[in-house]
Amino acid sequence: MQVKRFFAADMRQAMKLVRDELGAEAAIIGNRRIAGGVELTAALDYKLSALAPRVPNIELEDELRKTQSLIVTAQAELTHRSELDTVANRQLFAGLAMDDSKQIEPTLEEPFRPSVHAAVAAERAERNAEPGVGDRAYEAMRSELNGLRELLEVQLGSLAWNQLRDGRPQQANLWRRLQRVGLSGPLSRDLLAMVPDSNDQAHTWRMLLAHLARMIATPDVEPLEEGGVIAMVGPAGMGKTTTLAKLAARYVLKYGAQNIALVSMDSFRIGAQEQLKTLGRILNVPVTHVDPGQSLAQALEPLLRKRVVLIDTAGLQASDPALRLQLETLAGRGIKARNYLVLATTSQKQVLSAAYHSYKRCGLAGCILTKLDETASLGEVLSLAVTHELPVAYLTDGPRIPDDLHLPRRHQLVSRAVSVQMQEEPSEEAMADMFADLYHSTGKRAG
Protein backbone atom coordinates (compact mmCIF):
# COMPACT_ATOMS: atom_id res chain seq x y z
CA MET A 1 0.00 0.00 0.00
CA GLN A 2 1.33 3.42 -1.00
CA VAL A 3 0.42 6.34 1.29
CA LYS A 4 1.21 9.97 0.55
CA ARG A 5 0.23 13.42 1.80
CA PHE A 6 -0.73 16.28 -0.52
CA PHE A 7 -0.86 20.00 0.22
CA ALA A 8 -2.82 22.60 -1.79
CA ALA A 9 -4.64 25.91 -1.44
CA ASP A 10 -8.09 24.28 -1.53
CA MET A 11 -9.75 20.88 -1.66
CA ARG A 12 -10.27 20.89 -5.41
CA GLN A 13 -6.59 21.48 -6.18
CA ALA A 14 -5.60 18.84 -3.63
CA MET A 15 -7.92 16.29 -5.26
CA LYS A 16 -6.38 17.08 -8.64
CA LEU A 17 -2.90 16.42 -7.24
CA VAL A 18 -4.10 13.06 -5.91
CA ARG A 19 -5.65 12.09 -9.26
CA ASP A 20 -2.58 13.18 -11.23
CA GLU A 21 -0.08 11.26 -9.07
CA LEU A 22 -1.96 8.24 -7.73
CA GLY A 23 -4.80 7.96 -10.23
CA ALA A 24 -8.57 7.74 -9.90
CA GLU A 25 -8.38 4.54 -7.77
CA ALA A 26 -6.67 6.32 -4.85
CA ALA A 27 -8.58 6.44 -1.56
CA ILE A 28 -8.73 9.52 0.66
CA ILE A 29 -8.00 8.36 4.22
CA GLY A 30 -7.57 11.74 5.92
CA ASN A 31 -8.04 15.48 5.47
CA ARG A 32 -7.49 18.54 7.62
CA ARG A 33 -7.18 22.30 7.36
CA ILE A 34 -3.70 23.79 7.68
CA ALA A 35 -2.28 27.28 7.46
CA GLY A 36 -2.65 28.40 3.87
CA GLY A 37 -4.79 25.54 2.62
CA VAL A 38 -5.64 21.86 3.14
CA GLU A 39 -3.78 18.59 3.65
CA LEU A 40 -5.04 15.33 2.15
CA THR A 41 -3.73 11.87 2.99
CA ALA A 42 -4.30 9.41 0.14
CA ALA A 43 -3.49 5.75 -0.30
CA LEU A 44 -3.17 3.46 -3.29
CA ASP A 45 -4.26 -0.20 -2.95
CA TYR A 46 -5.93 0.71 0.35
CA LYS A 47 -7.70 -2.27 1.96
CA LEU A 48 -10.62 -1.66 4.27
CA SER A 49 -10.67 -3.70 7.49
CA ALA A 50 -13.29 -6.31 8.23
CA LEU A 51 -14.81 -3.94 10.75
CA ALA A 52 -15.45 -1.40 7.99
CA PRO A 53 -16.84 -3.35 5.02
CA ARG A 54 -16.51 -1.77 1.63
CA VAL A 55 -19.61 0.11 0.39
CA PRO A 56 -20.66 -1.10 -3.07
CA ASN A 57 -20.14 1.45 -5.84
CA ILE A 58 -23.84 1.51 -6.62
CA GLU A 59 -24.58 2.68 -3.05
CA LEU A 60 -21.67 5.10 -2.70
CA GLU A 61 -23.58 8.18 -3.81
CA ASP A 62 -26.42 7.43 -1.36
CA GLU A 63 -23.93 7.05 1.49
CA LEU A 64 -22.18 10.28 0.59
CA ARG A 65 -25.49 12.11 0.39
CA LYS A 66 -26.39 10.85 3.87
CA THR A 67 -23.06 12.11 5.19
CA GLN A 68 -23.58 15.45 3.50
CA SER A 69 -27.01 15.70 5.15
CA LEU A 70 -25.46 14.97 8.54
CA ILE A 71 -22.91 17.72 7.96
CA VAL A 72 -25.62 20.26 7.13
CA THR A 73 -27.56 19.20 10.25
CA ALA A 74 -24.45 19.49 12.42
CA GLN A 75 -23.73 22.96 11.06
CA ALA A 76 -27.29 24.05 11.83
CA GLU A 77 -27.05 22.65 15.37
CA LEU A 78 -23.74 24.42 15.94
CA THR A 79 -25.19 27.70 14.72
CA HIS A 80 -28.28 27.26 16.90
CA ARG A 81 -26.16 26.37 19.93
CA SER A 82 -23.98 29.44 19.40
CA GLU A 83 -27.07 31.65 19.21
CA LEU A 84 -28.48 30.13 22.42
CA ASP A 85 -25.17 30.67 24.21
CA THR A 86 -25.12 34.29 23.08
CA VAL A 87 -28.68 34.87 24.35
CA ALA A 88 -27.92 33.15 27.66
CA ASN A 89 -24.79 35.23 28.17
CA ARG A 90 -26.70 38.42 27.47
CA GLN A 91 -29.40 37.45 29.97
CA LEU A 92 -26.81 36.51 32.59
CA PHE A 93 -24.90 39.76 32.33
CA ALA A 94 -28.12 41.77 32.20
CA GLY A 95 -29.20 40.14 35.48
CA LEU A 96 -25.80 40.74 37.03
CA ALA A 97 -25.85 44.37 36.02
CA MET A 98 -29.30 44.75 37.57
CA ASP A 99 -28.07 43.13 40.83
CA ASP A 100 -25.02 45.40 40.94
CA SER A 101 -27.15 48.49 40.35
CA LYS A 102 -29.32 47.79 43.38
CA GLN A 103 -26.37 48.40 45.74
CA ILE A 104 -28.13 46.54 48.59
CA GLU A 105 -26.03 45.70 51.65
CA PRO A 106 -26.07 42.03 52.62
CA THR A 107 -28.41 41.17 55.52
CA LEU A 108 -29.17 38.10 57.60
CA GLU A 109 -31.89 37.25 55.10
CA GLU A 110 -29.28 37.21 52.30
CA PRO A 111 -26.40 35.23 53.79
CA PHE A 112 -24.98 34.02 50.45
CA ARG A 113 -24.82 37.25 48.45
CA PRO A 114 -21.08 37.88 49.11
CA SER A 115 -20.25 34.40 47.78
CA VAL A 116 -22.41 35.07 44.70
CA HIS A 117 -20.48 38.25 43.97
CA ALA A 118 -17.22 36.36 44.49
CA ALA A 119 -18.32 33.68 42.01
CA VAL A 120 -19.29 36.36 39.49
CA ALA A 121 -15.91 38.05 39.89
CA ALA A 122 -14.13 34.72 39.44
CA GLU A 123 -16.17 33.96 36.32
CA ARG A 124 -15.38 37.36 34.86
CA ALA A 125 -11.68 36.89 35.61
CA GLU A 126 -11.76 33.49 33.90
CA ARG A 127 -13.45 34.96 30.85
CA ASN A 128 -10.88 37.74 30.70
CA ALA A 129 -8.02 35.26 31.10
CA GLU A 130 -9.19 33.04 28.23
CA PRO A 131 -11.21 35.18 25.81
CA GLY A 132 -12.97 33.49 22.93
CA VAL A 133 -12.04 29.89 23.77
CA GLY A 134 -15.51 28.66 22.83
CA ASP A 135 -15.54 30.80 19.69
CA ARG A 136 -12.19 29.38 18.57
CA ALA A 137 -13.36 25.82 19.13
CA TYR A 138 -16.57 26.53 17.23
CA GLU A 139 -14.68 28.08 14.31
CA ALA A 140 -12.25 25.15 14.21
CA MET A 141 -15.13 22.67 14.11
CA ARG A 142 -16.90 24.71 11.49
CA SER A 143 -13.73 24.82 9.36
CA GLU A 144 -13.37 21.04 9.59
CA LEU A 145 -17.00 20.53 8.58
CA ASN A 146 -16.62 22.90 5.63
CA GLY A 147 -13.50 21.03 4.54
CA LEU A 148 -15.32 17.70 4.73
CA ARG A 149 -18.28 19.13 2.84
CA GLU A 150 -15.99 20.47 0.12
CA LEU A 151 -14.30 17.08 -0.16
CA LEU A 152 -17.70 15.39 -0.49
CA GLU A 153 -18.78 17.83 -3.20
CA VAL A 154 -15.63 17.11 -5.22
CA GLN A 155 -16.11 13.35 -4.84
CA LEU A 156 -19.82 13.51 -5.64
CA GLY A 157 -19.09 15.64 -8.69
CA SER A 158 -16.56 13.14 -9.99
CA LEU A 159 -18.89 10.21 -9.28
CA ALA A 160 -21.89 11.88 -10.95
CA TRP A 161 -19.89 12.76 -14.07
CA ASN A 162 -18.44 9.23 -14.37
CA GLN A 163 -21.92 7.71 -14.07
CA LEU A 164 -23.34 10.04 -16.73
CA ARG A 165 -20.40 9.53 -19.08
CA ASP A 166 -20.58 5.73 -18.84
CA GLY A 167 -24.36 5.34 -18.67
CA ARG A 168 -25.61 8.13 -21.00
CA PRO A 169 -22.79 9.02 -23.41
CA GLN A 170 -25.00 11.15 -25.69
CA GLN A 171 -26.15 13.28 -22.77
CA ALA A 172 -22.54 13.57 -21.59
CA ASN A 173 -21.54 14.80 -25.04
CA LEU A 174 -24.10 17.62 -24.82
CA TRP A 175 -22.73 18.58 -21.41
CA ARG A 176 -19.24 18.78 -22.97
CA ARG A 177 -20.46 21.00 -25.80
CA LEU A 178 -22.18 23.39 -23.38
CA GLN A 179 -18.99 23.51 -21.31
CA ARG A 180 -17.01 24.42 -24.43
CA VAL A 181 -19.34 27.38 -24.97
CA GLY A 182 -18.58 28.43 -21.38
CA LEU A 183 -22.08 28.11 -19.91
CA SER A 184 -22.40 27.60 -16.16
CA GLY A 185 -23.37 24.25 -14.67
CA PRO A 186 -26.80 25.35 -13.37
CA LEU A 187 -27.73 26.95 -16.71
CA SER A 188 -26.55 23.87 -18.63
CA ARG A 189 -28.64 21.66 -16.36
CA ASP A 190 -31.74 23.82 -16.94
CA LEU A 191 -31.23 23.77 -20.71
CA LEU A 192 -30.79 20.01 -20.86
CA ALA A 193 -33.97 19.56 -18.83
CA MET A 194 -35.86 21.33 -21.64
CA VAL A 195 -34.97 18.85 -24.39
CA PRO A 196 -35.94 15.17 -24.62
CA ASP A 197 -33.37 12.41 -25.00
CA SER A 198 -32.78 11.75 -28.68
CA ASN A 199 -30.34 9.93 -30.90
CA ASP A 200 -30.32 12.92 -33.26
CA GLN A 201 -27.54 14.95 -31.64
CA ALA A 202 -27.59 17.70 -34.27
CA HIS A 203 -31.32 18.34 -33.76
CA THR A 204 -31.00 18.29 -29.96
CA TRP A 205 -28.09 20.76 -30.14
CA ARG A 206 -30.14 23.16 -32.26
CA MET A 207 -32.99 22.92 -29.75
CA LEU A 208 -30.61 23.71 -26.88
CA LEU A 209 -29.32 26.83 -28.65
CA ALA A 210 -32.85 27.94 -29.46
CA HIS A 211 -33.85 27.61 -25.79
CA LEU A 212 -30.74 29.56 -24.78
CA ALA A 213 -31.62 32.37 -27.19
CA ARG A 214 -35.14 32.60 -25.76
CA MET A 215 -33.73 32.84 -22.23
CA ILE A 216 -31.67 35.95 -23.08
CA ALA A 217 -33.71 39.05 -22.31
CA THR A 218 -33.48 42.26 -24.35
CA PRO A 219 -35.32 45.58 -23.83
CA ASP A 220 -38.58 46.08 -25.69
CA VAL A 221 -37.53 49.68 -26.44
CA GLU A 222 -33.96 50.84 -27.03
CA PRO A 223 -32.81 52.78 -23.93
CA LEU A 224 -31.81 55.86 -25.99
CA GLU A 225 -35.22 55.91 -27.64
CA GLU A 226 -36.92 55.64 -24.25
CA GLY A 227 -34.90 58.61 -22.99
CA GLY A 228 -34.40 59.81 -19.42
CA VAL A 229 -31.36 59.53 -17.16
CA ILE A 230 -29.09 56.62 -18.11
CA ALA A 231 -26.06 55.72 -15.97
CA MET A 232 -23.11 53.49 -16.86
CA VAL A 233 -21.96 51.53 -13.78
CA GLY A 234 -19.34 48.84 -13.25
CA PRO A 235 -15.76 48.21 -12.18
CA ALA A 236 -12.79 49.96 -13.78
CA GLY A 237 -11.67 48.67 -17.16
CA MET A 238 -15.06 47.45 -18.36
CA GLY A 239 -15.45 50.22 -20.96
CA LYS A 240 -17.98 52.57 -19.35
CA THR A 241 -16.61 55.87 -20.72
CA THR A 242 -16.08 54.49 -24.24
CA THR A 243 -19.60 53.03 -24.23
CA LEU A 244 -21.04 56.36 -23.08
CA ALA A 245 -19.20 58.10 -25.93
CA LYS A 246 -20.70 55.67 -28.45
CA LEU A 247 -24.20 56.17 -27.04
CA ALA A 248 -23.86 59.95 -27.13
CA ALA A 249 -22.57 59.95 -30.70
CA ARG A 250 -25.34 57.57 -31.80
CA TYR A 251 -27.98 59.91 -30.37
CA VAL A 252 -26.42 63.11 -31.78
CA LEU A 253 -26.13 61.63 -35.27
CA LYS A 254 -29.80 60.64 -35.20
CA TYR A 255 -31.46 63.52 -33.31
CA GLY A 256 -28.91 66.32 -32.96
CA ALA A 257 -27.13 67.76 -29.91
CA GLN A 258 -29.94 69.94 -28.52
CA ASN A 259 -31.62 67.37 -26.26
CA ILE A 260 -28.74 65.43 -24.77
CA ALA A 261 -26.33 66.15 -21.89
CA LEU A 262 -23.41 64.32 -20.29
CA VAL A 263 -22.64 64.03 -16.56
CA SER A 264 -19.42 62.75 -14.99
CA MET A 265 -19.30 61.34 -11.44
CA ASP A 266 -15.73 60.08 -11.93
CA SER A 267 -13.37 62.36 -10.01
CA PHE A 268 -11.06 59.46 -9.06
CA ARG A 269 -9.50 58.40 -12.35
CA ILE A 270 -6.82 60.66 -13.80
CA GLY A 271 -8.02 62.29 -17.00
CA ALA A 272 -11.59 60.95 -16.77
CA GLN A 273 -13.19 64.39 -16.72
CA GLU A 274 -10.92 65.66 -19.51
CA GLN A 275 -12.02 62.76 -21.71
CA LEU A 276 -15.65 63.69 -21.25
CA LYS A 277 -14.93 67.40 -21.82
CA THR A 278 -13.23 66.52 -25.09
CA LEU A 279 -16.20 64.39 -26.13
CA GLY A 280 -18.58 67.23 -25.23
CA ARG A 281 -16.64 69.72 -27.40
CA ILE A 282 -16.59 67.33 -30.35
CA LEU A 283 -20.33 66.60 -30.13
CA ASN A 284 -21.26 70.15 -29.01
CA VAL A 285 -22.96 68.64 -25.94
CA PRO A 286 -22.89 70.18 -22.43
CA VAL A 287 -20.88 68.31 -19.79
CA THR A 288 -21.53 68.59 -16.02
CA HIS A 289 -19.11 67.31 -13.37
CA VAL A 290 -20.36 66.10 -9.99
CA ASP A 291 -17.75 66.01 -7.23
CA PRO A 292 -17.92 63.58 -4.26
CA GLY A 293 -20.36 64.93 -1.70
CA GLN A 294 -22.13 67.14 -4.22
CA SER A 295 -25.84 66.53 -4.73
CA LEU A 296 -26.50 64.63 -7.96
CA ALA A 297 -30.16 65.71 -7.87
CA GLN A 298 -29.14 69.39 -7.82
CA ALA A 299 -26.66 68.81 -10.65
CA LEU A 300 -29.36 67.16 -12.76
CA GLU A 301 -32.02 69.79 -12.09
CA PRO A 302 -30.90 72.21 -14.89
CA LEU A 303 -30.77 69.23 -17.30
CA LEU A 304 -34.30 67.94 -16.75
CA ARG A 305 -35.47 69.50 -20.00
CA LYS A 306 -32.99 67.37 -21.93
CA ARG A 307 -34.48 64.25 -23.46
CA VAL A 308 -31.43 62.10 -22.62
CA VAL A 309 -28.85 62.51 -19.85
CA LEU A 310 -25.94 60.05 -19.85
CA ILE A 311 -23.99 59.59 -16.59
CA ASP A 312 -20.44 58.24 -16.42
CA THR A 313 -19.60 56.80 -12.98
CA ALA A 314 -16.34 55.89 -11.27
CA GLY A 315 -15.19 52.28 -11.34
CA LEU A 316 -14.39 51.68 -7.68
CA GLN A 317 -13.35 48.64 -5.66
CA ALA A 318 -16.12 46.83 -3.78
CA SER A 319 -14.38 47.65 -0.48
CA ASP A 320 -14.17 51.39 -1.22
CA PRO A 321 -16.65 53.37 0.95
CA ALA A 322 -17.04 55.83 -1.94
CA LEU A 323 -18.69 53.07 -4.02
CA ARG A 324 -21.50 52.65 -1.50
CA LEU A 325 -22.13 56.41 -1.49
CA GLN A 326 -22.14 56.49 -5.29
CA LEU A 327 -24.62 53.61 -5.54
CA GLU A 328 -26.89 55.12 -2.89
CA THR A 329 -26.84 58.39 -4.83
CA LEU A 330 -27.89 56.67 -8.06
CA ALA A 331 -30.63 54.78 -6.22
CA GLY A 332 -31.99 57.98 -4.64
CA ARG A 333 -35.69 58.73 -5.06
CA GLY A 334 -35.16 62.03 -6.82
CA ILE A 335 -32.83 60.65 -9.50
CA LYS A 336 -34.93 58.07 -11.39
CA ALA A 337 -31.88 56.84 -13.28
CA ARG A 338 -31.80 53.59 -15.24
CA ASN A 339 -28.49 51.99 -14.34
CA TYR A 340 -26.80 49.65 -16.82
CA LEU A 341 -24.00 47.36 -15.68
CA VAL A 342 -21.17 47.49 -18.23
CA LEU A 343 -19.44 44.10 -18.48
CA ALA A 344 -16.34 43.32 -20.52
CA THR A 345 -16.79 39.89 -22.10
CA THR A 346 -13.03 39.33 -21.70
CA SER A 347 -13.44 39.17 -17.90
CA GLN A 348 -13.30 35.93 -15.91
CA LYS A 349 -16.55 34.60 -14.47
CA GLN A 350 -15.42 35.41 -10.90
CA VAL A 351 -14.87 39.05 -11.92
CA LEU A 352 -18.25 39.22 -13.64
CA SER A 353 -20.04 37.71 -10.64
CA ALA A 354 -18.29 40.08 -8.22
CA ALA A 355 -19.24 43.07 -10.41
CA TYR A 356 -22.91 42.07 -10.38
CA HIS A 357 -23.07 41.57 -6.62
CA SER A 358 -21.24 44.87 -5.97
CA TYR A 359 -23.43 47.01 -8.23
CA LYS A 360 -26.85 45.39 -7.92
CA ARG A 361 -27.48 47.57 -4.86
CA CYS A 362 -28.23 50.58 -7.02
CA GLY A 363 -30.89 48.71 -9.00
CA LEU A 364 -29.95 47.49 -12.47
CA ALA A 365 -32.09 48.00 -15.54
CA GLY A 366 -29.89 45.70 -17.59
CA CYS A 367 -26.35 45.22 -18.84
CA ILE A 368 -24.15 46.31 -21.76
CA LEU A 369 -21.64 43.78 -23.09
CA THR A 370 -18.35 45.23 -24.34
CA LYS A 371 -15.17 44.02 -26.08
CA LEU A 372 -16.86 41.24 -28.02
CA ASP A 373 -14.12 41.56 -30.62
CA GLU A 374 -11.48 40.57 -28.04
CA THR A 375 -13.25 37.79 -26.15
CA ALA A 376 -12.44 34.09 -26.27
CA SER A 377 -15.74 33.04 -24.64
CA LEU A 378 -19.22 34.49 -24.28
CA GLY A 379 -20.76 31.73 -22.19
CA GLU A 380 -19.75 33.18 -18.83
CA VAL A 381 -21.33 36.60 -19.38
CA LEU A 382 -24.45 35.08 -20.97
CA SER A 383 -24.83 32.75 -17.98
CA LEU A 384 -24.72 35.73 -15.62
CA ALA A 385 -27.24 37.73 -17.67
CA VAL A 386 -29.67 34.80 -17.88
CA THR A 387 -29.27 33.68 -14.26
CA HIS A 388 -29.83 37.18 -12.84
CA GLU A 389 -32.42 38.18 -15.46
CA LEU A 390 -30.41 41.14 -16.74
CA PRO A 391 -31.65 42.35 -20.15
CA VAL A 392 -28.81 42.88 -22.63
CA ALA A 393 -29.27 46.47 -23.85
CA TYR A 394 -26.27 47.01 -26.18
CA LEU A 395 -23.18 45.26 -27.55
CA THR A 396 -19.84 46.79 -28.47
CA ASP A 397 -17.20 45.04 -30.56
CA GLY A 398 -14.54 47.59 -31.45
CA PRO A 399 -13.10 51.08 -30.89
CA ARG A 400 -15.05 52.97 -33.57
CA ILE A 401 -17.53 55.58 -32.31
CA PRO A 402 -20.43 54.93 -32.78
CA ASP A 403 -20.10 52.26 -35.48
CA ASP A 404 -19.10 49.50 -33.09
CA LEU A 405 -22.21 49.90 -30.90
CA HIS A 406 -25.03 47.50 -31.76
CA LEU A 407 -28.46 46.47 -30.56
CA PRO A 408 -28.46 42.81 -29.46
CA ARG A 409 -30.06 40.10 -31.52
CA ARG A 410 -30.50 37.05 -29.35
CA HIS A 411 -29.94 34.34 -31.96
CA GLN A 412 -26.94 36.20 -33.36
CA LEU A 413 -25.51 36.50 -29.85
CA VAL A 414 -25.86 32.75 -29.31
CA SER A 415 -24.31 32.04 -32.73
CA ARG A 416 -21.40 34.28 -31.81
CA ALA A 417 -20.98 32.44 -28.50
CA VAL A 418 -20.76 29.14 -30.37
CA SER A 419 -18.31 30.54 -32.93
CA VAL A 420 -15.82 31.62 -30.23
CA GLN A 421 -16.13 28.46 -28.13
CA MET A 422 -13.10 26.52 -26.95
CA GLN A 423 -11.56 24.42 -29.68
CA GLU A 424 -10.36 21.59 -27.45
CA GLU A 425 -12.59 19.25 -25.52
CA PRO A 426 -12.92 20.00 -21.79
CA SER A 427 -10.90 17.64 -19.60
CA GLU A 428 -12.45 15.01 -17.38
CA GLU A 429 -11.35 17.07 -14.35
CA ALA A 430 -13.13 20.15 -15.72
CA MET A 431 -16.36 18.19 -16.19
CA ALA A 432 -16.12 16.71 -12.69
CA ASP A 433 -15.52 20.21 -11.31
CA MET A 434 -18.67 21.44 -13.08
CA PHE A 435 -20.73 18.73 -11.38
CA ALA A 436 -19.07 19.53 -8.04
CA ASP A 437 -20.16 23.16 -8.51
CA LEU A 438 -23.69 21.90 -9.10
CA TYR A 439 -23.64 20.10 -5.75
CA HIS A 440 -22.24 23.24 -4.11
CA SER A 441 -24.90 25.53 -5.56
CA THR A 442 -27.65 23.05 -4.64
CA GLY A 443 -26.35 22.90 -1.08
CA LYS A 444 -26.30 26.70 -0.83
CA ARG A 445 -29.90 26.92 -2.01
CA ALA A 446 -30.97 24.22 0.44
CA GLY A 447 -29.22 26.03 3.29
Burial class (CB in 10 A: 0-12, 13-18, 19+), 383: buried
Nearest to 362 by CA among 390, 324, 398, 399: 324
pLDDT digits (tens, 9 = 90+) for 87-135: 555 554 455 444 444 443 433 333 333 444 444 444 454 445 454 556 6
Q: Helices 240-255 and 272-283: crossing angle, nearest 10°?
A: 10
* pLDDT over 50 at 446, yes or no: no
**pLDDT tens digits, residue range 63-98?**
445 555 655 565 566 566 556 555 555 554 455 444
For the beta carbon of residue 105, count every other beta carbon within 10 angstroms. Answer: 6
- Cβ atoms of 212 and 191 within 8 Å: the answer is yes
Q: Is the dihedral of CA 221, 224, 225, 229 positive or negative?
A: positive
Which carries the bigger pLDDT value, residue 148 or residue 237?
237
Range with the largest mean pLDDT of 331-335, 336-340, 341-345: 341-345
C-beta separation of 311 from 265 below 8 A: yes
- The class that CATH gives domain 223-407 is alpha beta
Domain ranges of the chain: 2-54, 223-407
The length of the chain is: 447
Q: Which residues of 129-143 are buried (b: 16+ CB within 10 A; e: fewer)?
A: eeeeeeeeebeeeee
How many Å apart are CA 159 and CA 180, to the nearest integer?
A: 21
Contact status, residue 379 vs residue 386, Cβ threshold 8 Å: no
SS3 per residue for 149-211: HHHHHHHHHHHHHHHHHHHCHHHHHHHHHHHHHCCCHHHHHHHHCCCCCCCCHHHHHHHHHHH
Which residue from 285, 246, 234 is spatially nearest to 399, judged by alpha carbons?
246
Residue-wise pLDDT tens digits, 350-378? 999 999 999 998 889 999 999 999 998 99
| Ranges 25-39, 213-227, 347-361: which has the least confidence | 25-39
Report how far apart, in Å, the C-alpha atoms of 346 and of each of 183, 249, 324, 352, 391 are: 15, 24, 26, 10, 19
Number of helices followed by number of strands (H, E) in the chain: 16, 11
- Greater pLDDT, 374 or 436: 374
What pTM value is reported for the model? Answer: 0.69
The confidence score (pLDDT) of residue 389 equals: 94
